[in-house]
Amino acid sequence: MTEPEAPTLLAMPKQRYGLEVLAVLGVSYGMSGITALLDFLRAQITINHGAGFSNVATGPINSGTKTQYQWLDILDQLANVLSGVLPAFLAIVLLMRSPAGRGLGIGLDRLRSLEVAQGAGFAAAIGIPGLAFIYVARKLGLNAQIVVTDFPDVWYRIPILILDAFQDGIAEEIIVGAFVLTRLRQLGWTNSRALAASALLRGSYHLYQGYGGFIGNAIMGVIFGWWFQRTRRVVPLIVAHSLIDAVSFIGYVYLHNKVSWI
């Protein structure tokens, strides 16, 4: 009696790719988008009773604790960083299982020094107008007051905030950018349709910040996604996103209560 053949992983690639997208987003930014939408609705219904975010404050986005066991506090923060990166690791593993998995097809095969410079340029080009956009949106009552961090004043505050920034950059750009755009194209979506979906997803999990957070991050998603679709290189986007968040986190620490709108 012959044994039945084991099912091949590539028997139904399109269906599998769709399930992979749902699974990865279900443990990462898909659920974040749902909770952000609920926060958005709650702010409109219970606080402002209509449109606007003038009386809404969010956060803290990054928080920490200070106890008598400092080594445990540090380990808690490192565990949080690790948990944020693991969904991106899952996305990478899934990409490696597909036929085009050599070099992952997303530009993680090797680090190019030029890509670091490109990332720094992206950070300046996106971050500076983004800061102005947030300022205008806040003044118009379209964005919440963003409490970036309430991390206690301890010696490891800045290093942990930098690690948090790189965790955000790695996770978002690999999952929302590279993974989602790759899988949607493999599902037969056009580049423009996949780009729109990725950008809307990126905006969705920033809805807790208000209209400005949604629009600003969706625009960022269009720019970053367009770049990835044409270059298949995700490293410059990781560098740019990480630098933008690092400047935001550290800037908030030193400018809060010194600049009126921060």
What confidence tier does 48 reach under pLDDT thresholds 50, 70, 90?
low
Contact yes or no for 245/165 (Cβ under 8 A): yes
Alpha helices in 140-210 (DSSP H): 157-172, 180-186, 191-204
Global confidence as pTM: 0.90
- Taking only the tens place, the pLDDT of each residue in 138-168 is 888 888 888 899 899 999 999 999 999 999 9
To the nearest 10°, the Cα dihedral for 75, 80, 84, 87?
70
Pick the range with the lowest mean pLDDT from 7-11, 27-31, 118-122, 156-160: 7-11
- Taking only the tens place, the pLDDT of each residue in 72-91 is 999 999 999 999 999 999 99
pLDDT of residue 62: 78
Asked if pLDDT for residue 10 goes beyond 80, the answer is no
Cα diameter, the chain? 79
Question: Radius of gyration over alpha carbons of the chain, in Å?
Answer: 20
Q: What angle do CA 245, 24, 5 make, to 5 degrees?
A: 150
Residue 146 Ramachandran class (φ > 0 left, ψ -120 to 50 alpha, else beta): beta
Q: Which residues contact 3 (CB under 8 A, 6 or more apart)?
A: none
Contact yes or no for 165/157 (Cβ under 8 A): no
